[in-house]
């Protein structure tokens, strides 16, 4: 069962904006009860459509979305040196190109409505989904900022030995309004330390190819999600594209990596939506596993 911390409305900005948004989602008449709340994070065990429809338009600073890639096709991959099914769950099954594209069209439109004009949206994917998302983004008039290659230096080997070993994912970073000015924390990204990334030297500009290993065992100590993202990937994204006080939304929360990264960086407000209860429970365990003092560490104090 969820241990719900009592949610308190905090006076003052920018907490006020966050509290106004969640007061709207959680309004007694809408009957959407949060699964987990703390002063700076809220998780809903709901379909993203229910929650996003209740968020006022132009209110969210940044959205990270890791939508189902729709790649669960009964194939096989290699896991820890053994053959393992690629299937992630019913939520990841493809319904064909037209229906999958319609799915991306719907959630991207819902995100567009709630983003501020200068707000940005990140989407992760592989070739199974990322081109459909890119097409939809163009159709919906987003402005492209970057496409990032996330290279996984420890990606699983290819079992069939008939083609190249898949070892990257793509991240699209786009802005809602072509004319608005988005936020980019250039100095922190150029001068920060990223020891996990063998391609990045301190003091030089970060390029659009990021080398980040898949999540370490340590990151799965409270349970596993089949498509969990590395914490360092999300910390980097949030550090680069948000500032203290910003409101961050993840409509496909999964194991809550985005919320965890917000908590590690500190001074960010987080709204997560996840349809599967077991993943909400995992998120809660992960959020509660951060020891006092872990969050908002000194390294990020001025970010
Ligand atoms: C690719 S995973 C996200 C993984 C996450 N980034 C992490 O690091 O753990 C996608 C998640 O979206 C959830 N999901 C699928 N359809 C959904 C919907 N309509 N509304 C909310 N969540 C949904 C799935 O249950 C799954 O956990």
Omega prior to 160 cis, within 30 of 0 = no
Pocket test for ligand 1, best of 275, 279, 285 (most atoms within 8 A of CB): 275
Which residue's CA is the nearest one to ligand 1's atom 13? 252
Q: Is 273 in the pocket of ligand 1 (CB under 6 A)?
A: yes
Contact 261, 31 (CB under 8 A): no
Digitized pLDDT (tens) for each residue of the chain, 303 residues in all: 343 343 444 455 578 899 999 888 877 777 789 999 999 999 999 999 999 999 999 999 999 999 998 877 777 676 777 777 777 778 888 889 999 999 999 999 999 999 999 999 999 999 999 999 999 999 999 999 999 999 999 998 888 899 999 999 999 999 999 999 999 999 999 999 999 999 999 999 999 999 999 999 999 999 999 999 999 999 999 999 999 999 999 999 999 999 999 999 999 999 999 999 999 999 999 999 986 555 544 344 334
* 276 Cβ closer than 6 Å to some ligand 1 atom: yes
**CA distances to 71, 112, 265, 296 from 100, in Å:** 11, 18, 34, 38
Is the C-beta atom of 232 inside 6 A of ligand 1? no
Q: What is the pLDDT of residues 118-161, one digit of tens each?
A: 999 999 999 999 999 999 999 999 999 999 999 999 998 888 89
Q: Which residue has the CA at smallest separation from atom 15 of ligand 1?
A: 91
The answer to whether 134 touches 160, Cβ cutoff 8 Å, is: no
The domain ranges of the chain are: 15-284
**For a substitution probing ligand 1, which of 68, 109, 252, 282 has the most ligand atoms within 8 Å of its CB?**
252
Q: Tell me the whole-structure pTM to 2 decimals.
A: 0.91
What are residue 43's DSSP bridge partners?
A: 36, 272
Q: Rounded to the nearest whole angstrom, what is the distance from the C-alpha of residue 48 to the centroid of ligand 1?
A: 9
Q: Mind listing the pLDDT tens digit for each residue in 186-208?
A: 999 999 999 999 999 999 999 99
Q: Are strands 209-211 and 269-273 parallel, antiparallel or unpaired?
A: unpaired
* Contact assessment for residue 242 and residue 232, using Cβ atoms and an 8 Å cutoff: no
Closest CA to 258 of 156, 108, 168, 123: 123
Which ligand 1 atom lies nearest to the CA of residue 91? 15
Mutate to test the pocket of ligand 1, among 68, 107, 270 (most ligand atoms within 8 A of CB): 68
Domain 15-284 has CATH 3.40.50.150: yes
Quick one: pLDDT at residue 1? Answer: 33
Q: Does residue 91's CB lie within 6 angstroms of at least one atom of ligand 1?
A: yes
């Amino acid at each position: 069962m969820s241990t719900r911390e009592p949610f308190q409305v905090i006076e003052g900005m920018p907490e006020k904006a966050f509290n106004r948004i969640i007061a709207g989602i959680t309004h007694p008449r809408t009957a959407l009860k949060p699964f987990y709340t703390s002063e700076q994070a809220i998780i809903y065990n709901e379909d993203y459509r229910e929650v996003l429809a209740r968020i006022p338009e132009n209110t969210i600073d940044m959205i990270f979305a890791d939508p189902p890639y729709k790649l669960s096709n009964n194939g096989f991959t290699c896991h820890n040196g053994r053959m393992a099914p690629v299937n992630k769950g019913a939520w990841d099954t493809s319904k064909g190109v037209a229906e999958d594209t319609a799915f991306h069209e719907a959630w991207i439109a819902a995100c567009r409505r709630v983003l501020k004009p200068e707000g940005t949206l990140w989407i992760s994917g592989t070739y199974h989904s990322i081109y459909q998302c890119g097409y939809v983004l163009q159709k919906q008039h987003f402005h492209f900022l970057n496409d990032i290659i996330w290279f996984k230096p420890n990606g699983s080997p290819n079992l069939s030995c008939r083609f190249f070993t898949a070892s990257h994912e793509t991240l699209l970073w786009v802005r809602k309004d072509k004319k608005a000015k988005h936020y980019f924390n250039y100095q922190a990204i150029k001068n920060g330390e990223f020891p996990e990334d063998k391609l990045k030297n301190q003091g030089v500009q970060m390029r659009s190819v990021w080398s980040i290993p898949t999540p370490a065992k340590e990151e799965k100590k409270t349970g596993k999600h089949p498509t969990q993202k590395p914490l360092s990937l999300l910390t980097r994204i949030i550090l680069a594209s948000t500032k203290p006080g910003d409101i961050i939304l993840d409509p496909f929360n999964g194991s809550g990596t985005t919320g965890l990264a917000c908590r590690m960086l500190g001074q960010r407000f987080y709204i997560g939506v996840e349809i599967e209860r077991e993943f909400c429970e995992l998120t809660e365990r992960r959020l509660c596993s951060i020891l006092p003092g872990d969050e908002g560490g000194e390294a990020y104090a001025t970010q």
